[in-house]
Structure 1
C-alpha cells in the first residue's frame, strides 16, 4: 500500500523570466510503484526522507538508495527507480525548469553527473517542499511566483544538506574567509594550508562552486563596500584594507565587478550613522527597532 499527493503547474512566459519555475510538487510514502524507464525534459529533485530502494541510470548500473538521500533527475537522462517493496520509502519531489539551472549546475547546486546524493538530514529540504505544497492551495493568486522563489530556496537547502559537506562550508573556506583581505596570492593561501594550488582549487570548487580567486574576490569586495559606505576612508586606504596595494588596480577591479567606480558607489550608498555602524548580524528574534524620542 502507498499514499500519494501531487499537483502540477503551467507557469506563463513572465514566470519563466524569473529564472526558475516550479512545474510540480508531490508527497508520497509507502511501497510506491516503479518509476520508468523514462526520460524527462526538465529537472526533478526527489528527496527520500526514510526507507530504501534503488536507482538505475543511463549506464545501466543499479545503485542502492538509503535515506536520507536525494535523486537528481536531469533533462535527457534516462532513469529508472523504486523503493524496496518490503520497506517502501517516504519521498517529496519538485519538478522545475528554467535558464537559471545552468548557473546552479556551474555552482555545484545541481549535479547531473551524481544522480544519487546522500544527505545528512532531509528536514531542511522537506520543509521547503512542504511550503511549495501549501502554496498549491486552490485559488492562490501568487502560486507561480511563490513556488518559483521556493525552488531557489530548495536548491540551497539541498546543497546545505549534502552529507559530504558541512552546512556552512568546511575549514578551508572558513580560513580563506578569515584571511581573505591579507595580501596573499591564491598560491600563498594554498601554501598556508599545506595544499597545492590545484588541491585548494578543487576544495573550493567542491564546497563553494567557484574558484578560490572568485571566492576571495567576493569577500574582499563585500568588505570594501562596507568601508566605502560606512567610513570616510580614502579609496586608497580602503584598497589597502582589503588586500590591494595598488589603488588604481583596485578601482578597475571594483568597477568591472560592481559596475561603477568606488567613488560613485560611496556617493550612492554612503551613510553617516550617529553612534557608529554595527557589524553584528541582527537576531531575527530581536530585530532593530525605531524608537520614538519619548521611548526610553
Structure 2
C-alpha cells in the first residue's frame, strides 16, 4: 500500500473499526500527571484496540509526540522507520521512539488486529532504547502476544474510568509491565506455549472482576469469538461470560467469608453497580442470599 494514502484512507472510515476501543487522556490531565513523581516517570496518553483494522494506517513524517507501542495479535501489516520497511504479523511488536519519522499500515488481504499505546515520561526513552537493544531494532516478535495484549487491555480499562490520578497510576503500572515483558521475552526461542484457552483464562483471572467482552478476549488470543466460546464450553462447560460471572461469585464468597464488608460494598468490589442485581445473581448461583450465606453455620 502506498504510504502517502494511509492518512487519507484512515480518515475515510468515519465509524472506525467494529468493536474498537480508544481512550485519549485530556492534555491538561497529561500535563498535571507529568509533574507527579509517580506518573511523571511513565505515563500513557492514549491507548486502544483496533480489531481487524482494514485500511488502517498512519504516516507521520515528523514522528509522534509520544513513544508508540503496537502489538499485533492477528492478521498482518507493515512498519517503515529509519529507511527500512518491516513486515509485522501475529506476535509482532513495534516500538517507535517519539519524534522519529515513521509510517505503518494494515495488510490489504489480512488486516491486522492491534493493541496499542502512546506513552511518555522521564523514563520512557530508556525503556524504548532497552527494548530496541534487546530486539536489535524497532520490531520484535513475541511467541505469545496475549500477555502484552492483556496488559494493554488493562491500561484501556484503567483510563476508561476517567483521568484521575489513581486511574493514571494503574495505567502506568500495566504499561511498565507490558514494556518489561517485551524486553524480557522478545525473540524467545520456539517451545511449548499455553493454549489460546489457557491464555484467555489467565487474562480473566488477572483482571477479575473487570468484565472483558468475548470479542476482545478472542482477539487477544488469536481466535474468532465463536471458536473461543466453543473451547470454553468444551473444556470448562460454560461460556466466557458465564466463566467471568463464576470468578466474580468466587470473589464475593471470599469477601463474605473473610471480611465484614456490607453486602453493598461486596457487590461493588465484585463489579456489580446494583446491589439488588448482585443479590439476585448470588441467589441464582448459591440458592441463598449473600446475607444468608454469611450467616450460615460454619463448615457448610
State the secondary structure of the residue aligned to 1:2.
coil
SS of 2:161's equivalent in the other structure is coil
> Any conservation in 1 of the 2:23–2:160 contact (CA below 8 Å)?
no
Query: Aligned-pair distance for 1:138?
Result: 3.5
Q: Is the Cα–Cα contact under 8 Å of residues 15 and 144 in structure 1 kept in the other structure?
A: no
Per-residue CA deviation, residues 84-113 of structure 1 (Å, 9 max, x unaligned), is: 11111111001111111244256x235596
CA RMSD in angstroms comes to 2.6
Return the structure number with greater helix share: 2
- Deviation readout 1:126-181 (Å, 9 max, x if unpaired): 110111111122346411111112221111121233124699xxxxxxxxxxxxxx
Contact in 1 for aligned 2:91/2:145 (Cα 8 Å)? yes
Match of 1:2 in 2: 17
Which of 129, 154, 157 lines up with 1:131 in the alignment?
A: 154
Give how far 1:125 is off: 0.4
Residue 167 of structure 2 is matched in structure 1 by: 143
| Residue among 152, 155, 158 paired with 2:182 | 158
The 1:15–1:46 alpha-carbon spacing in structure 2 relative to 1, beyond 3 Å, is farther
- Please report the TM-score for the alignment, with normalisation by the length of structure 2: 0.50
1:52 CA drift (Å): 1.0
Structure with greater Cα Rg: 1
The corresponding residue for 1:41 is 65
Q: Deviations over 1:37-86 (max 9, x none)?
A: 44112211100011111111131x32221211001111121111111111
Pick closer, same or farther for the CA change 1:149–1:50 going to 2, 3 Å: same
Query: In the aligned structure 1, how far is the partner of 2:81 from the partner of 2:66?
Result: 16
Is the CA contact (8 Å cut-off) linking 1:8 and 1:24 kept in structure 2?
A: yes
CA contact 1:160–1:166 (8 Å) conserved in 2:
no
Instruction: Tell me, yes or no, if structure 1 residue 114 matches structure 2 residue 120.
Output: no
Residue deviations 1:187-219, cap 9 Å, x none?
A: xxxxxxxxxxxxxxxxxxxxxxxxxxxxxxxxx
SS of aligned partner of 2:110:
coil
Count of aligned pairs between the two proteins? 165
Write the distance in 1 (CA, Å) between the matches of 2:78 and 2:128: 24
Q: Residue 95 and residue 89 in structure 1: after superposition, are their counterparts in 2 closer, same or farther (change >3 A)?
A: same
Gaps of 5+ in 1: 168-296
* Alignment partner of 2:50 out of 28, 51, 69: 28
Alignment match, 2:123: 100
**Partners of 2:137 and 2:39 in 1: how far apart?**
28
Aligned residue number for residue 248 of structure 2: none
| Gaps in structure 2 of 5+ consecutive residues | 1-15, 192-300
- Of 114, 124, 128 in structure 2, the residue corresponding to residue 91 of structure 1 is 114
